[in-house]
Structure 1
Amino acid sequence: MAEPNAGRTPKMRAQDVSVFYGDKQALKDVSIDIHDDRVTAFIGPSGCGKSTFLRTLNRMNDTIPSARVTGHIELDAEDINSPDMDVVQLRARVGMVFQKPNPFPKSIFENVAYGPRIHGLGNSKTELAEIVEKSLKRAGLWDEVKDRLGESGISLSGGQQQRLCIARAIAVDPEVILMDEPCSALDPIATAKIEELIHELRGRYAIAIVTHNMQQAARVSQRTAFFHLGEMIEYGKTSEIFTNPTQRRTQDYITGRYG
């Protein structure tokens, strides 16, 4: 795959980002660029700060009263922590897919239509129906659910529910999709479908994925950041991180000495 132009501005840029929960520092001085033409994976042992960092990118840590974020995060060169930033709008632009599929207790149609409706994207029933169909097609789910759009989203299998959550995230036309271990609750077949979907969505959205599965990171991403004990130890091309890491801690993690 062609390398992006080195001078290109990243879609998102984090500089010296630290996160504190009360007195405890969970993340220390992380700097990373996320580009819109590739998938960036965050790997590392449990509790190393990778999900905490992912959550800073759409201000999900705002929902935790004791959390405090320092440093600078930009989306299209705009400071996302600025008082002028509309957080609802930010989360429409930077969508999130969680570890456990969490469809709303509504119909399949309403799960996908909900976001566009509150953001005023579909002004008529026809427009909404088009957005729902397009989003479900992009999430690789349309053929499986097109005859049951009125059924509850919760009636779907776990893998289908996760693809429904991805359809819900893309229905509001985001620019970035954050995925926090999106396959950890799924079986191998459903996982393969989500990975295939990530390949298809690449280039249309900037994608950042947290995974504890190194093989998954190797399969789906072009860039990988390795986190350990709240620090980002190494960041580079996925192929190089896995075959020729520069840091001893990365090497030890990848070869299974800990983690």
Structure 2
Amino acid sequence: MIDTLIPTPTDTAEPAVEERTPKMSARDVKVFYGAKEALKGVSIDIHDDRVTAFIGPSGCGKSTFLRCLNRMNDTIPSARVTGTIELDGEDINSAAMDVVQLRARVGMVFQKPNPFPKSIFENVAYGPRIHGLAENKSELEAIVEKSLKRAGLWDEVKDRLNESGTALSGGQQQRLCIARAIAVDPEVILMDEPCSALDPIATAKIEELIHELRGRYAIAIVTHNMQQAARVSQRTAFFHLGEMVEYGKTSDIFTNPREQRTQDYITGRYG
């Protein structure tokens, strides 16, 4: 057992059937920036009944891998991705995959809240409008309200939907970005250090929201905060120097890791 200050994960509400068909499946995924290999053969499954956390020191490849899951690395000219990533059995890197539709199905919440310079309403309505998810104004209003409620923000903003989203506090802006992501009814939500710029109270609200969204969406979260990974996830993957060193139940990773590098990181010997 490892003596740390990290709370013991509980893996609460673990499904009775241990393994089911994964929502997303990655096999031997490598990422190159020019000649530099940034990610070295990562294989992992992401399920829709649990939160999967990616942990590891800065520059270890965890955010690079997360961006592979909705092809955000396509926006980097020097990036090249090899291996296979499937969403419900479909190869997301195939020529037949519509990248716009992929990013609607696999939403992303970034490290720094990035609301559009539009009203709160228009921030959430933007995706459903361009994807044709509402036939009229009342349907669009219903989607906005439902999304803001799911993001735990409705009661705070329902009387000022026409105000700018950028006028909200940092924590509210991040929940607005989550509402914007879920407004297009995604299947997977990727979160890249969503609490790193937030205070403890706002962080607690985001973590509570992750618990509430679990089961409705497959969720993968990158975090530098090991306590946060222990609190919100049921599975954890440890990355180091471009490799995925270890992956398993969060409780096992934090209390009884198989790899020495994992133990050294968890106990603060490096990172």
Q: What's the TM-score once normalised by structure 1's chain length?
A: 0.99
Root-mean-square deviation (Å): 0.7
In structure 1, the partner of 2:166 is 154
In structure 1, the partner of 2:7 is none
Residue from 67, 77, 83 that aligns with 1:71: 83
Structure 1 residue 58: Cα displacement: 0.1
In structure 2, the partner of 1:178 is 190
Structure 1 residue 141: Cα displacement: 0.1
Structure 1 residue 123: Cα displacement: 1.3
Structure 1 residue 4: Cα displacement: 5.5
Structure 1 residue 121 and structure 2 residue 141: aligned?
no
Q: 1:104 to 1:4 in 2, by over 3 A?
A: farther
State the number of aligned residues: 259
Runs (4+) of structure 1 moved beyond 4 Å? none
In structure 2, the partner of 1:188 is 200
Amino acid at match of 1:207: I
> Distance between the aligned counterparts of 1:2 and 1:257, measured in 2?
31
- Secondary structure of the equivalent of 1:47? coil
Structure 1 residue 102: Cα displacement: 0.1
Structure 1 residue 232 and structure 2 residue 248: aligned?
no
Residue from 22, 30, 41 that aligns with 1:10: 22
5+ residue gaps in structure 1?
none
Structure 1 residue 85 and structure 2 residue 97: aligned?
yes
In structure 2, the partner of 1:135 is 147
1:13-28 paired onto structure 2 within 5 Å: 13-28=25-40
Structure 1 residue 59 and structure 2 residue 59: aligned?
no
> Distance between the aligned counterparts of 1:138 and 1:93, measured in 2?
17
In structure 2, the partner of 1:39 is 51
Structure 1 residue 212: Cα displacement: 0.3
> Distance between the aligned counterparts of 2:219 and 2:16, measured in 1?
15
> Distance between the aligned counterparts of 1:203 and 1:148, measured in 2?
30
Structure 1 residue 169 and structure 2 residue 181: aligned?
yes
Give CA-to-partner distance per residue, 1:175-204, whole Å, 9 cap, x none.
000000000000000000000000000000
> Distance between the aligned counterparts of 2:166 and 2:80, measured in 1?
34
Structure 1 residue 135: Cα displacement: 0.1
Does the aligned pair in 1 maintain the 2:62–2:222 contact within 8 Å?
yes
Give CA-to-partner distance per residue, 1:51-76, whole Å, 9 cap, x none.
00000000000000000000000000
Structure 1 residue 8: Cα displacement: 1.7
Does the aligned pair in 1 maintain the 2:230–2:254 contact within 8 Å?
yes
Give CA-to-partner distance per residue, 1:85-112, whole Å, 9 cap, x none.
0000000000000000000000000000
Amino acid at match of 1:246: R
Amino acid at match of 1:244: N
> Distance between the aligned counterparts of 1:80 and 1:8, measured in 2?
20
Amino acid at match of 1:135: S
> Distance between the aligned counterparts of 2:76 and 2:228, measured in 1?
29
Q: 1:82 to 1:195 in 2, by over 3 A?
A: same
- Secondary structure of the equivalent of 2:14? coil
Identity %: 88
